[in-house]
Amino acid sequence: MNASSASGDFGVVIPVKPEHFHWVRGTCASVRYFMDDTPICLIVDGERAPTDLRETYGVQVVMREDVEIPALRELSFGSLKAKNTALWLSPFETFLLLDADAVVWGDMRGLADFERYDFVVDQPIADLEEVRRSVMDVDLIGLRFPEFDARSHLREYVNSGAYFGRRGMLDLDRYLELLRFSRDQPGALYGSQGAFNFMLFSASDAGLVRLAQRPLQVQTGRSLREDVTRRFAIVAGSPVVTGDPVVLHWVGSPKPRVRHRGRDYFEPMNFFRMRFQADSSGRRLHAMHELRLRYEDAMCTDWRGANLRGRLRKVKRRAGFRWASLKADVRARMPDHVLVAVRRRSRLLRSKG
């Protein structure tokens, strides 16, 4: 049973930062192209909303200030972990979550089965070293949370860039505990994926959620370029879908932009970015639309970008990681009575300020 028939309350949720609005326009355009009028909601981790998406596609927007749970708002937003707030903030009972640097290629609703499952996630990450780098330190998690056999799921953990989920199925208090732990132990749970996989597989072990895994994504950095160009071809100005619907996700490779280099393949995202330009302006495509896309690429501040602003952001991000690791190391080495005194002094200074 597909998503639309299993529940009248189904939609697509896309967590996004303002620096990724130029991608998410393409993501939303792909949903409109292949999935008709399926409702879309953006969870925005930033100070400004994409009004053009509201006007063009009727997209709902959830901003940080809309979140009524203070701990969820303070611990999740401002980091990669904001993506996981969809598990509780989705306006739809059942949803397809998409990363902003992805497009759907076909009507994904047929891959969900909410009559039998609460979550349908991607096939496992094949590379165990990649799991340790991008999901969690299973040994450290096993020591801190012995009730969850983290190591037993090493060959099941997933990339969370695309999955079907049911709102409110996972324990929010448990999640907030994980966020506080990961704040004190940088690297134990990576970004959004560590806590997501912990929550999902521990709940499955406890019999609290029904879980299935099936191929939902093609990840550009883990696929041969020849396979990607063949499966995601654009012929005579239109996408050609062969095989099952799937999400094309630019992960583990350069992020999409208009200008190509080497073995890049960005045509699917560029097609839908241009599609949004035409839909939003109500005009046929012309050279100014492509210039607009080039300008957006140049102004992007995503740290993975190849432009100057992206490179500067990457340097700043690395410095932030080093500082967080240094603080955690200092706290670990500091005697308890000194740590208590420092925290008391900090609280006193804040209260006076």
pLDDT in tens, 100-138: 999 999 999 999 999 999 999 999 998 889 999 999 999
Report the pLDDT value the prediction gives residue 5, as an integer from 0 to 100: 39
Q: Which CATH architecture has domain 1-123+158-169+209-306?
A: Alpha-Beta Complex (3.90)
Report the pLDDT value the prediction gives residue 295, as an integer from 0 to 100: 82
DSSP notation for 298-313 = HH---TT-SSHHHHHH
CA gap 177, 75 in Å, rounded: 10
CA gap 248, 232 in Å, rounded: 8
| pLDDT above 90: residue 97 | yes
Question: What's the rounded mean pLDDT across residues 202-230?
Answer: 96
Give tens-digit pLDDT for 236-280: 999 999 999 999 999 989 999 988 777 889 999 999 999 999 999
Please state the domain extents for the chain. Answer: 1-123+158-169+209-306, 308-352
DSSP notation for 8-37 = S-EEEEEEE-GGGHHHHHHHHHHHHHHHTT
DSSP E strand stretches across 87-149: 94-98, 102-105, 119-121
Question: What's the rounded mean pLDDT across residues 317-336?
Answer: 58
What value does the mean pLDDT of the chain take? Answer: 88
CA gap 323, 57 in Å, rounded: 41
Report the pLDDT value the prediction gives residue 59, as an integer from 0 to 100: 97
Residues with Cβ within 8 Å of residue 121, at least 6 apart in sequence: 158, 160, 163, 164, 200, 211, 212, 213, 216
Within a 10 A sphere around the Cβ of 90, how many other Cβ atoms?
22
Tokens of 290: 């492509």
CA gap 73, 342 in Å, rounded: 26
CA gap 69, 334 in Å, rounded: 33
CA gap 223, 107 in Å, rounded: 22
Q: Which helix (H) or strand (E) holds 339?
A: helix 336-352
CA gap 259, 256 in Å, rounded: 9
CA gap 158, 161 in Å, rounded: 9
Q: What are the backbone dihedrals phi and psi of residue 14, each rounded to the nearest 5 degrees, phi first?
A: -130, 110
| pLDDT above 50: residue 152 | yes
CA gap 172, 175 in Å, rounded: 5
Q: What are the backbone dihedrals phi and psi of residue 43, each rounded to the nearest 5 degrees, phi first?
A: -100, 110
Report the pLDDT value the prediction gives residue 283, as an integer from 0 to 100: 75
Chain-centroid distance of CA 282 in Å reads 30
3-class DSSP state of 309: helix
- Residue 192: pLDDT band by 50, 70, 90 thresholds? very high
- C-alpha Rg value of the chain to the nearest Å: 21
Q: In what order do the strands lie in the sheet with 246-249?
A: 102-105, 246-249, 217-219
| pLDDT above 70: residue 164 | yes
Tokens of 98: 């998409």
Higher pLDDT, 240 or 2: 240
- Of 40-44, 130-134, 237-241, 307-311, the least confident: 307-311
Q: Which amino acid is at 293?
A: L
Q: Nearest to residue 312, comparing CAs of 323, 300, 324?
A: 300
| pLDDT above 80: residue 177 | yes
Report the pLDDT value the prediction gives residue 6, as an integer from 0 to 100: 42
| pLDDT above 60: residue 67 | yes
CA gap 248, 226 in Å, rounded: 14
| pLDDT above 90: residue 96 | yes
Report the pLDDT value the prediction gives residue 314, as an integer from 0 to 100: 47
Q: Which residue has the tokens 């998406």?
A: 53
CA gap 325, 328 in Å, rounded: 5
CA gap 224, 36 in Å, rounded: 30
